[in-house]
Every structure is written in C-alpha cells, then in structure tokens.
Amino acid sequence: MTLCVAYQQFLKEKISEGVTEQTLKYYKYNLPKFIEWCVDNKIENVEDVYTHLFEDYKLYLIENKNGTKKISLQTYTRAVKTFLLWLNENEFIQNVGKLKLIKAEIANIVPLSDVEVKILLNNFDNSYFGIRNKLMVMFMLDSGLRRGEVVSLESKNIFMHNNTMLVQGKGEKERLVPFGEETKRYINRYSHMRNEYEKRFFQKEDGTPITDNTIKMYFQELKESTGIIRLHPHLLRHTFATNYILYGGDVEELRILLGHTSLQMTMKYVHLATQQRILNQRYHSHIDKLFCQYDNKLARYSGSFLSRCPEFESPMGHHKAARYNAFAALLI
C-alpha cells in the first residue's frame, strides 16, 4: 500500500470518528508535506517506513525551518506522529519506535496590563459592530474563550439567570464557564440587535454567522486603533488566565475553565502570574536604600554641619550640589 492511499484511509477513519472540521484541515495541511518529503526520499509505500523515519523528518524540518518557530515545527510533527501511530495500530507498519515531538521553546508571553485592557475596551462605539466586537473581546477577557469558541457559541447556550455559558471547545468537548455583570449587560444590549432566528450568537450585519476569519481581520484593525502591536485573540485568553491565578484562583479550577486536558498546560499561567506579582509589588533596591540614607543624613546635617564646614566651601560660594556630592562621598 502506498503512503498516499494510507493517508486517504486515515482521513476517512478520522471523519467517521467525528473529528472537527478544523482538525481535518490540520491533517490535510501537514500530512501531504510529510508524504511529499517521503516520496522525495524514495519512501513511497508503507513497507518502506523505517524505525527512525520520524527522527529524520524532524531533523529535516529543523534544518530547513527558515525562521519558523519551534512551536510551529512541533505542530507539524504532531500530525505526522498521529499518522504513524495510526499506521502502527492498524498493523500497516511495525516497530514505529519512540516518537518524541520537537521540544517547543516557551514563549515569553506578556499579558495585557490593566491600562491596556482599559484602552482596548474603550475602543468601541455604540454601533452594531461596536457592541458586537466589544462583546467578543469581553468573552475572551472575562471567560477565557478561544477564538473558535467565540465563533461557534450558540445563543441557546448562554444562561443569563446564573451568568454562565456552555462552550464547545477542542474536540467538541463542552464546558460551563462563567461571565461577569458587565459582560452580561453587553449580552443584553447585543441580543436586541442580532437576528434572533440564527442559532449562532455572533453574526455579521446580514444576520449570517461570523467566521474565524472575521475575528482575525478585526484584530488586525484593533492593533492599529489601540496601538497594542502584540494584540491577538489568544493574548486575551492568556490575560484572563494570568489574572485568575494572580487574584487567588485555583490552578485546577482554571484548567477546567480553560478546557485543558492536562494540568501541565495550565501551569504556565502560574509562572506568568508569579512574574506579574513580582513586577506589581514595590521593588526594594539596595542601591536606592543606600542613597535614601544619604539623603536623610544630608537632610539632618544641612543648614548646620555643611554650612559651617570649610572643606565644603565652593570657590563660587555654597554650591548645594557640590556639597551634596562631597558629603555623600564621605558617607560611603
């Protein structure tokens, strides 16, 4: 069997399993590149697959990354790993070996500051698009929704009586997340403006559902209008998670709210919150402390010792700055 035929069977099985359209696009984007590389290296049939093939493909990606980040390379190889494991499980190949993903570098994520959040939320007018777009941003900031979760949110799954909504996350897994009173106020405002017969909550002006591309394009506009160049939808989710921990939230509860499958994925926000807490607290510099002591001593002696001490006389008279520097040097 050729790898191309095996790939088609793999896709059919994934469709029958009910994977999301987004996951299917992910496989269709990454796996043909892998198969093309295999064919270029005379590996056309499943029988040609050897134990260290995955390692060789990783090496090829790293050597030819052309500025591609390691997190992206990890994403590419995850699809290949899934495919090779499928081949092994269906006994098309044997001895697949250990399939270790490329270790991604942890990005230095800087959450939005309170000032930046205010700038962002004050960027909207009271038009249909203004109310709609602000509410999309609020869902990401207030409840930690992903971009795709905002797109797929249905009006029937927003429960105003207890400020919660049922969100469909990755792998069509559902979770219940809360929202605040200000977000609730904007839900009410937008609900009176939208097409009530469309099940998707967020809509275009013609009443049809928004798409993933709608949010992508709008965030490009937001970067320019707010001046927050690093702004992107997932940064709002990062900001929500960091603030949740920063203000005393439990990491396991956060895992559930974010829809993470493992606690390890959530732990990075503990690290981010710790960094933020250090920056928010008053920093006590030892050097500043020493110079503050000098200032205090100078304040006690000024007008008495300095004014009577001849060695602090300046040729041009009692120059305050010169006396300060000379006396500070004596105190060291």
Domain boundaries, the chain: 3-89, 114-280, 286-331
* pLDDT per position as a tens digit, 294-328: 555 544 444 443 344 444 344 444 444 444 344 34
Complete DSSP assignment for 85-125: HHHHHTTSS------PPPPPPPP---PPPHHHHHHHHTT--
Complete DSSP assignment for 125-176: -SSHHHHHHHHHHHHHHHH---HHHHHH-BGGGEETTTTEEEEE-GGG-EEE
For 3-89, the fitting CATH number among 1.10.357, 1.10.150, 3.40.50, 1.20.1530 is: 1.10.150
Confidence check: pLDDT of 180 > 50: yes
What SS3 state is found at 43?
Answer: coil
Q: Pick the residue with more confidence: 273 or 121? A: 121
Confidence check: pLDDT of 113 > 50: yes
pTM of the model: 0.61
CATH class belonging to 114-280: mainly alpha
> Which residue do the tokens 């499958």 mark?
261
Contact 239, 111 (CB under 8 A): yes
Least confident of 56-70, 122-136, 205-219, 225-239: 56-70
What SS3 state is found at 329?
Answer: helix
Query: What is the pLDDT at residue 93?
Result: 80
CB neighbour list of residue 222: distance below 8 Å, 6 or more residues apart: 120, 123, 228, 231
Confidence check: pLDDT of 245 > 90: no
CA–CA separation, 94 and 171 (whole Å): 28
The first and second tokens of residue 71, run together, are 């997190």
CB neighbour list of residue 129: distance below 8 Å, 6 or more residues apart: 205
What SS3 state is found at 67?
Answer: coil
The dihedral region occupied by 227, where left means phi > 0, alpha psi between -120 and 50, and beta the remainder, is left
pLDDT band at 20 (very low <50, low <70, confident <90, very high): confident
Q: Pick the residue with more confidence: 139 or 300? A: 139
Contact 2, 45 (CB under 8 A): yes
CA–CA separation, 150 and 142 (whole Å): 12
Pairing assessment for the beta strands 164-168 and 158-159 based on DSSP bridges: antiparallel
Please, which residues bridge with residue 133 across strands?
Answer: none
Give me the numbers of helices (H) and strands (E) for the chain, helices first please.
15, 3
Residues in the chain: 332
CA–CA separation, 245 and 270 (whole Å): 6
Query: What is the pLDDT at residue 167?
Result: 93
Contact 259, 175 (CB under 8 A): yes
Mean pLDDT of 75-102: 79
Q: Which of 142, 140, 161 is nearest to 151 (CA)?
A: 140
The first and second tokens of residue 250, run together, are 């439990």
Helix pair 128-143, 114-121: axis angle to 10 deg: 150
Instruction: Check for a shared fold between 3-89 and 114-280.
Output: no
Contact 80, 57 (CB under 8 A): yes
Averaged pLDDT of the chain: 80
* pLDDT per position as a tens digit, 33-52: 999 999 999 899 988 888 78
Distance of CA 87 to the CA centre of its chain: 33
